[in-house]
Amino acid sequence: MKKAIIFVHDKRAGILSENITGGYEFIYDDNYEGELVSLTMPFNTKTYLYAKFPPFFEGLLPEGIMLEGLLKIGKIDKNDFFAQLIATGNDLVGAVTVKEWKDE
């Protein structure tokens, strides 16, 4: 299962992960008090479950020639949106950055 730490303006906001059923979940950190990750993910819900890759995060991914270059250089499958997000996580448009979760 892949996991990533999601930051907003360099403040850790929560964890995005694949689950065992092939879906995804985002969980806000208990102590996070910054801006929303997305307007579609307000604080009134701590955990968001998705059957497929979350649309907000998919919208952050590169397209066109930038995507083709990423897939070729990173040897990433074009359908592996999570790997694409992690690979581009430090260079996303907007306030959100993504770092791969590393078990310590």
pLDDT given for residue 69 in this prediction: 83
**Which tokens is 92 given?**
């996303």
pLDDT digits (tens, 9 = 90+) for 8-54: 999 999 999 998 888 999 999 999 999 999 999 999 999 999 999 99
Instruction: Give the domain range for residue 11.
Output: 3-100
CA distances from 63 to 16, 25, 33, 70, 88 (A): 21, 24, 32, 10, 12
pLDDT-based confidence at 102, cuts 50/70/90? confident
3-state class (DSSP) for residue 68: helix
pLDDT, averaged across the chain: 92
**Which tokens is 7 given?**
């930051």
Question: d(Cα 41, Cα 89) in Å, to the nearest integer?
Answer: 19
pLDDT given for residue 104 in this prediction: 52
The DSSP element (H or E) to which 59 belongs, if any, is none
| Nearest Cα to Cα of residue 54 among 15, 84, 82 | 82
| Nearest Cα to Cα of residue 9 among 86, 96, 92, 99 | 96
Query: How many domains, in total, are found in the chain?
Result: 1
pLDDT given for residue 53 in this prediction: 96
